[in-house]
A and B are shown apart, each in its own frame.
Chain A
Amino acid sequence: MIVKLSGGTVYDPTNGVNGKRRDIYIKDGRIINKPDIQAKIGKTYDLRGKVIMSGAIDIHTHIGGGKVNLARMMLPEDHRDDTVKRTSITRAGCGHAVPSTLTAGYRYAEMGYTSCFEPAMLPANARQTHMEMADTPIVDKGAYALLGNDDFFLQMLAAKKDQAAINDYVAWIIQSSQALGIKVVNPGGINAFKFNQRKLDLDDKNPFYNVSPREILISLSRAVHELGIPHPLHVHGCNLGVPGNKHSTLDTIEGVEGLPMHLTHIQFHSYGNEGDRKFSSGAAEIAESVNKHKNISIDVGQILFGQTVTASGDTMHQYEGHWHAHPKKWLLMDIECDAGCGVVPFRYEDKNFVNALQWAIGLELFLQVDDPWRIFLTTDHPNGAPFTTYPHLIRLLMDRGFRNDMLSTINKAAASSSILASLDREYSLYEIAIMTRAAPARSLGLKDRGHLGSGAAADITVYTEHRNKERMFAKPDYVFKDGELVAEKGKVVHVTSGGTHTLRPDYNTGIEKSLVKYFERYVNIKLGNFKLADDEITDLGKGKLIIQPCVR
């Protein structure tokens, strides 16, 4: 059956379409060119006056895996005021900062999102991460495998193994954990914390392996690049949350020697240490550097005020963060010679100087980075705020009056130390479409997502334009996933399961020889059992695998 979306105003940056009236045709889950006159149109949606974009893509959202599940268990109070009843088509669940997998999938779809990427999958925990993603309905999923703190990699680096061997290992990890990319968190720092090191700057050495974060970053970004993994190395840098950390962030940008690199939740890494309170915005310098270095992309990790929970692999800095836990409970875990995790509940207060300035810094970054193709909209869900705040964040970006109204309510000292009031920029719908669709799809190498051209997957969101952009983006009129109508007026109407994007980079299987030995000796797990088989996602998880090509 052919479905026609008739007369809507289309924003499709990949194909250069900026607010033009276009008809869109869907057949067998794909967008097709205008069919022959004779072709039968099975259903037509009259979308005159509506705004059409492809389904939105969240490039960085903690939706599955050990630390998220620990956060769920730790915080019954997070869910109690946001219970979700079962309906004839949807399962029961709960929402807020760490929603149940089921509710997370529904709410993303209801908000017009059709793909979500879990950014911190520990290879040791990959199987469970995929189980949780399998139970996240409707949206497509994918995950970045965490490397750079695992003892196997650090051993290789310490032994000065050549890049080819490192590449083999990285490719092996991608395949055995069914990942779509590679992430590094506090390069070497999670490992160093296991040796009781509490700080690790870009050129400090891990006390045991004697390698620096800089070496780790270069080695991993080169591997990602040389293997043709589309998404650049996804980097959570050194010194998260530390006043003055803008210096290590700037050094990191310079230090990667022109290789492609994605700096994630950069808001948390854009702090100066000036002023009476030794805490200031570094956004202008960071934005300037990002503007200059075309090899760099970022996502912001905007904070928004209210209760949330921080869940991170960065044990070193989550330990320091625990003094600010709200409510007063926290957990930390060293994991399997692989990495670690820390969960610290947190309440961002608009009257608190530091929190208010963090809010302003995030917005300063959004407004000062020129190229929307290299900056993605995230709150680092749930670390800066739950993903359900995205419509509010979009309004802050698109509506200067609203932004300034909000600015006038936050901590006065923070407001006056920020340049936010002087920033006139308002994002356009086209730029929002870039930042939430076209750019993340391009960055992840998803050629048939994030756009509305012929051949694209029919992941489509239809909005009613409204002066209040929060209202506009909160409840799209229609959301189609692979051509099926899944949500209408902000409510799920049909549940699908979504797929899992992965890669199959080439590698020399000789690497398994040393891995077998390493796993036998140290991890005490059989290599064959460590690897996540395809049928665990397809048969046991009842999902589908979508293999994306590498781009060598």
Chain B
Amino acid sequence: MTQDTNSKRFEEVPCPFCSLLCDDLVISQLKDSLKVKQNGCKLAKTRFEENQPRVSPTIADKACPLEDAIMESAKILKRSNQALIGGLGTDVNGMRAALRLTEKAGAVIDHMHSNAAFRNLDVLQNHGYVMTTLAEIRNRADLIIFAGTDANTNFPRFFERIINPSHSLVKINKKERQLVYIGDKLDSLPAGKSPGKRPIKLQCRQDQIGEVFSILHALSVGLEIDKPIIGNIKLSQLKKLTELLHKASYGVIIWAPGELDFPYAELTVQTITEIIKYLNRMTRFAGFSLGGSEGGMTATQVTAWQSGYPSRVSYARGFPDFDAYRFSGKRLLETNELDAIFWVSSLGAPIDLPDRRIPSIVLAAPSVKINGKPDVYIPVGIPGINHTGQMIRTDGVVSFKLKKLQNSEHPGVADVINRITQAYR
């Protein structure tokens, strides 16, 4: 960090706004505004640079001192029999605080993106899987299959950071690296610009991807298939791909659970992970999941070590009680089984409060758009901008310490929640 009279410059800044947590941003601060100078994607620029409006805590839409909003929040939770501690767009300490509050209030805890997360977690809990991390892909992968995601649309720097590095530990001849796309509406342009072989595009509906991998698995085992075509994919193309699977030294299949948005998508993840397991009998293969943004991976990991379960945990009976169906926050909202909502969004995700009259408490960064009127609104600082913190990357292995770049008049999520927990008597 260098400093002159008016401006500060921050280097090696980790970006908390998607789960890749790129940590090489260069950001300058002039007066109240931040500017991403180097290495930011569109999302990073939006979030770091966006103007945070001046807001204050409110109760029933009327400005109030923070202390009153905290007391009112505690009161609402105290009155509730089944509250949802949701959203959870926060850092590790925010999650620690949220879990403590959930326990005290006998509430249910679940992250806003858990529908996507459970497409993986269901598979983990039923079959398990073989996975890898970013640096392994970057250095080792010679065959990369994008299954239902192009990585690029939602993770704009994935290609720059992982697919197109100028160096790799293992001399994969970059010209030999094969990229394959399976699915619908995938942008293969970045692959076309990559130095590897011409990308293979296999077009099918997202909900047909599972069938494609089932056939690849059957072909790998040596079974005969008599179905000639799946989506727009010919059997002959799948036979060729099967050969590539077996020839690969280190193959990786990448999916984004959030982009497999159709019923029973966990079964698609399962067909992907099962062929990966099978191929490991002969060669090395691994899966990689792109997801867990808005603090999703952080929430899953912290919930797991403190409660034993990844998410969707109720403390109504005094102990962590896990049920992926019953304690889904989305389901509880839809079926009107809640009598209070406590929602945290400090990383930018907009908030949709339900139409029904359920008491609601919202902790959000000032710029977060809220559809609906919360009973209590408490503005909070943004981790990685207004306070330090820690967050966990999409692979669930690597984590970063976030930097504080500028002051905020608002406390962080952990601070606010801990005060509510204290006020809860």
C-alpha gap A325/B315 in the complex (Å) = 31
- B319 CB contact (under 8 Å) in A83, A135, A333: A83
Contact A536 B305 (CB under 8 A): no
The total of chain A residues at the interface (CB under 8 A) is 67
Chain B residues with CB under 8 Å of A73's CB are 121, 124-125, 300, 304, 309-310
Let me know if A76 and B322 touch, CB within 8 A: yes
Given A84-B319, A98-B308, A529-B23, does the pair A331, B130 have CB atoms closer than 8 Å?
yes
The answer to whether the Cβ of A128 comes within 8 Å of any Cβ in the partner chain is yes
Q: How far is the CB of A496 from chain B (nearest CB, A)?
A: 17
Of B127, B167, B304, B310, which one neighbours A329 at CB under 8 angstroms? B127
- Contacts A83-B319, A128-B392 known; A72 to B23 CB distance under 8 Å? no
| With A151-B169, A522-B167 as contacts: A194 and B128 at CB distance below 8 Å | no
A145-184 interface code vs B (CB 8 A; 1 in, 0 out): 0000001000100000000000000000000000000000
In the assembly, what is the distance between CA of A70 and CA of B130, in Å? 12
Q: C-beta contact mask, A513-549 vs B, less than 8 Å → 1, else 0?
A: 0000000011111101100110010001000000000
Of all chain A residues, the one with the shortest Cβ separation from B167 is A521
In the complex, the answer to whether A529 meets B401 with C-beta atoms within 8 Å is yes
- Which of A131, A135, A195 contacts B284, CB < 8 Å? A195
Type the 1/0 row for A72-103, where 1 means its CB is closer than 8 Å to any CB of B: 11111011100111100001111000111110
Assess whether B165 is in contact with A521, with CB atoms less than 8 Å apart. yes
* Contact present for A319 and B280 (CB under 8 Å): yes
Instruction: Tell me whether A529 and B400 are in contact (CB under 8 A).
Output: yes
Within residues 158 to 179 of chain B, which ones have a CB less than 8 A from any CB in chain A?
A: 161-162, 165-170
7 CB < 8 A contacts A-B:
A69-B305, A76-B309, A91-B306, A128-B399, A332-B286, A333-B133, A525-B398
CA of A195 to CA of B392 in the docked complex: distance in angstroms?
27
Nearest B-chain residue to A527, judged by Cβ: B12
Chain B neighbourhood of A529, CB < 8 A: 12, 14, 23, 400-401
With contact pairs A196-B249, A196-B284, A524-B161 given, residues A102 and B306 touching in the complex (Cβ less than 8 Å): yes
Taking a contact as CB atoms under 8 Å apart, the answer to whether A522 and B398 are in contact is no
With an 8 A cutoff between CB atoms, is B135 at the interface? yes
Given contacts A92-B320, A93-B307, A196-B249, contact A334 B136 (CB under 8 A): yes
Whole-angstrom distance between the Cβ of A405 and the nearest chain B Cβ: 34
Q: What residue of chain B has the Cβ atom nearest to residue A197's Cβ?
A: B284
- Bound CA–CA A84/B103 (angstroms): 12
- Name 5 extra pairs, CB < 8 A, besides A66-B397, A74-B128: A70-B124, A132-B305, A330-B128, A334-B284, A540-B389
Write the A46-79 contact mask toward B (1 if CB under 8 angstroms, else 0). 0000000000000000001010111011111011
| A contact residues around B318 at 8 Å (CB) | 85-86, 92
Flag whether A449 is at the interface (Cβ < 8 A): no
Q: B250 near A: Cβ within 8 Å?
A: yes
A526 to chain B, nearest CB (A): 4
Minimum distance in angstroms from B177 CB to a CB of chain A: 16
Residue A250 lies at the interface, judged by CB distance under 8 Å to chain B: no
Q: How far apart are the CA atoms of A93 and B319 in the complex, in Å?
A: 6
Assess the B138–A334 pair: CB atoms within 8 A.
Answer: no
B152 is an interface residue with CB less than 8 A from chain A: no
**A127–B399 touching, CB < 8 Å:** yes
Q: State A93–B305 Cα separation when bound (angstroms).
A: 9
The yes or no answer to B388 lying at the interface (CB within 8 A) is yes
> Do residues A343 and B305 form an inter-chain contact, with CB atoms below 8 A?
no
Question: A127 contacts B319, CB within 8 Å?
Answer: no
Q: Which B residues are CB-close (under 8 A) to A328?
A: 127
Contact (A101, B135) CB under 8 Å given A93-B319, A529-B401: no
Chain A residues near B310 (CB, 8 Å)? 73
Q: How far is the CA of A92 from the CA of B304 in the complex (A)?
A: 13
A74–B129 alpha-carbon span in the complex (Å): 10
Q: Please give the distance in Å from B91's CB to the nearest CB on chain A.
A: 9
Q: Which has the most chain A C-beta neighbours within 10 Å: B96, B305, B322?
A: B305
Chain A contacts for B133, CB-based, 8 A: 124, 333-336
Say whether, besides A525-B398, A529-B14, A334 and B132 are in contact (CB < 8 Å): yes
Q: Which residues of A contact B128 (CB under 8 A)?
A: 74, 325, 329-331, 343
User: Closest residue to A96 on the B side, CB-wise?
Assistant: B308
Binary contact track B306-349/A, C-beta < 8 Å → 1, others 0? 11111000010111111000000000000000000000000000
Task: Given A76-B125, A337-B135, A523-B135, verify A125-B92 contact (CB < 8 Å).
Answer: no
A72 touches B308 (CB 8 A): yes
What's the Cα separation between A79 and B124 when bound, in Å? 16
Min CB distance, B158 to chain A, in Å? 11
Q: Would you call A333 and B125 a contact (CB within 8 A)? A: no
Cβ distance A538 to chain B, nearest Cβ, rounded Å: 12
| Nearest Cβ on chain B to A61's Cβ, whole angstroms | 15
Give the complex CA separation of A68 and B308 in angstroms: 10
In contact, A522 and B396 (Cβ under 8 angstroms): no
Contact A536 B130 (CB under 8 A): no
Collect the chain B residues with CB atoms within 8 Å of residue A402's CB.
Answer: none
Alpha-carbon distance A84/B127, docked complex (angstroms): 27
Contact B396 A331, beta carbon cutoff 8 Å = no
A122 within 8 A of B: yes
- Distance in angstroms from B284 CB to nearest chain A CB is 5
Within 8 A of B (CB), among A323-354: 325, 328-338, 343
In whole angstroms, what is the CA distance A333 to B276 when docked? 12
A91 near B100: Cβ-Cβ < 8 Å: yes
Confirm or deny: A208 has a beta carbon within 8 angstroms of a beta carbon on chain B: yes
CB contact between A525 and one of B23, B125, B126, B167 (< 8 Å): that residue: B23
Q: Does B390 contact A127, Cβ atoms closer than 8 Å?
A: yes
Which parts of A98-131 form the interface with B (CB within 8 Å)?
98-102, 122, 124-125, 127-128, 131
**Cβ of A336 and Cβ of B304 under 8 Å apart?**
no
Question: Closest approach, in angstroms, between the C-beta of A100 and any C-beta of chain B?
Answer: 5
- Does A331 contact B397, Cβ atoms closer than 8 Å? no
- What residues of B have a CB within 8 angstroms of the CB of A151 in the complex? 139, 169
Flag whether B238 is at the interface (Cβ < 8 A).
Answer: no
The smallest beta-carbon distance between B163 and chain A, in angstroms, is 12
Given contacts A336-B136, A337-B136, A521-B167, contact A70 B396 (CB under 8 A): yes
Q: How far is the CA of A70 from the CA of B309 in the complex (A)?
A: 10
A194–B307 contact, CB under 8 A?
A: no
B19, CB-defined interface residue at 8 Å: no
The answer to whether B170 and A536 touch across the interface, beta carbons within 8 angstroms, is no
Question: Contacts A86-B319, A128-B392, A540-B389 given: A64-B131 contact, CB under 8 Å?
Answer: no
Q: Tell me the complex Cα distance, A131–B93, Å.
A: 10
Distance to closest chain A CB from B159 (angstroms): 13
CB-defined contacts of B397 to chain A, threshold 8 Å: 66, 122, 124-125, 128, 333, 335-336
Q: Which residues of B contact A132 (CB under 8 A)?
A: 305
Complex interface: chain B residues within 8 A of A343 (CB): 128
For A92, the chain B residues whose CB sits under 8 A away are: 103, 307, 315, 318-320
User: B93–A540 contact, CB under 8 A?
Assistant: yes
Does B68 reach chain A (CB closer than 8 Å)?
A: no
Is B200 on the interface with A (CB-CB < 8 A)? no
